[in-house]
Structure 1
Amino acid sequence: MSNSAINRRACEAARLSVAPMMDWTDRHCRYLHRQLSGQALLYTEMVTAPALVRGGAMHLLDHHPAEHPVALQLGGSDPKELALAAKLGADAGYDEINLNVGCPSDRVQSGCFGAVLMQQPALVAECVAEMQAVVDVDVTVKCRIGVDDQNPQDVLPEFLSRIVAAGCIRVSIHARKAWLQGLSPKENRDIPPLDYELVHLMKEYFPNLHISVNGGITSLDQAEAFLDGGLDGVMIGRSAYHQPADILAQADRRIFNEGTDTTAEAAVLAMLPYIEDHLTAGGKLNQITRHMMGLFAGRPGARQWRRMLSEEAHRPGAGPELVLAALDQVKTLAQVQEAV
């Protein structure tokens, strides 16, 4: 596939994406999500540029061919180092390289990257320019609307104008401020108020910039409303992880007007060969099933599904037969529920 075709595919896929989430969106999680949606754009966990460039941790770039379209999110603040890391990611086959300008954790702040970079738009623009200069895939940015005492109405337009001038054509905006002092990363996902109107306003200011909205979105109904309202994409985080079938099983039809709906049951069956391969390579079942806990969220048998996987998947010798047994529990309880 040509680079222009790759960029076009990633741009189209960005109508709906699953947000990069530390400790969650690893390669096993992404493979599961791909069984539910063939179209949505998937993101890695944040990988720091120093880990790749100085640490040589190339295993962090591992991904399955089935994951495409898939984007690599990088964290860092040194333009030259980020460029080297971006080149490694593009050479590894990622369809997009994304720069994290939104994470509020203490670890990220101490490394001078993540949300703290909202205070240094010129540096972010330099990072984007250096990265884009060495790769042919799109370099994108995920940001907040501002941090701490910044006025988002003032700082966000300037921030976006800087990165657009540097060559960024797609951005995902988490529609909350980040409070770098006084709030934990968890609190930063809930407490600062959402300002979706500001994100819509940025689309008016920058009509040629592909803008995805992120933050507080929990359903496909909301996603469709944002798209109908003029935004180019919607990025969903925690709901896509905790209720993946609710978000992704109908996404291809409803968001992309392609394909047909799938089911959680079908996704489980599709995961079995992947699980077999992982176990054969020396992996453990719970490395995969920990991401499958929410597949039946809100349905009869969901509690039994979670319990069987959480209590037994870590045991030596646990394999696909456990997953099938848990699935049978779900089916049995669903039949009982229908008979009542």
Structure 2
Amino acid sequence: MSRLASIIANPNGLVILQSSVSQTCLPILRQVLKPTRLPPPQTLLFSFLYPPSSLIGSLASDASLISVFDYTERIPGYDTWTDSRQDILNAIKAAPPGSLRVVIDSVDTLASDISSDSQTFKFIKTIFTLISSRPQPSVLVLHLLSCSLLSLLTQTALSPTLTHVIAHPPVLIEHLITAYSTPPPPAGPAEKFWSVFIPISERAPESQRLVYGPDGTGACTGAGDDAKEFIVELIIRGVGIEGGKRTTERMLEGWNGEAAESPEKLGSLKALLSRKKVDEKPLDPMQSVSFNLHLTASQEESRGRVPLPYAHQLSATCSTIYYEPDSADDIDDDDPDEDLDI
């Protein structure tokens, strides 16, 4: 089972699903909302952006599996708007005992309603404290677009452990392979790939240009019945066994339709990633010359018997400096400073 499939089947702690203008993470969110084990955990879905029916489908009618709170019509500035924070806290506290799965879509919309990143962060921290007091595995799943609140949510002040799932369009990997010759591991060196991938992927206009530009591939919404492919960047922060040191893993996986997939099996990347890895062994400098630079055994032996003009055979073990004066050297025993009154 891939790491992403394992996270979807058994999420725990804090999980952040990050979409962008060029690539949505909604297909993964839909899979997280589906019950994958028995008995299924109680799930609370708080929708601020997308209608709940577009996320859970037929599950909306089964209140025993999921409780839906639709706040999409609560828009600040309209008569229908009311602050939803207390309603959310009351719903979490009133949930049946046992493990709990709380999903908020989307946090950036919630922050826009509250009009304060700091207040939104304090509210999310209160929710996570309530969930952490529940039996494990309990999880808080936050779906959002890249926003200023993201830097606060990924800090250890909220949770020492974190699973951060970021969706990228496949054309971004194609661009790195063709323009920078940096395929993702194991097709290429991991250090080289991440040093190029991270700064480019963090520049949102770069991915938008590749998707929506004059030569772009077009939008990949991930909606509908047709299979959609995209790349998933996983950042998993945990606590190690030795001395409680935190460990962070970063890896790439693919997504095809409704399931995790290896990037090299995606239709848009298969041809590029199936190329044989270039042999990285250093080339022999004597391989392409038109004459032989190697010595035979007899030639090696003859060369070893040649006396070196600068080598002196000494019977003693002490070191000696040999100096032969040049004709231009002015060597005498007189003191050059004898005329000085010192």
Length-normalised TM-score, structure 2: 0.34
**Bigger share in helix:** 1
Structure ranking higher on relative contact order (CA contacts 8 Å, 6+ apart): 2
Length-normalised TM-score, structure 1: 0.35
Give the structure with higher Rg (CA).
Answer: 2
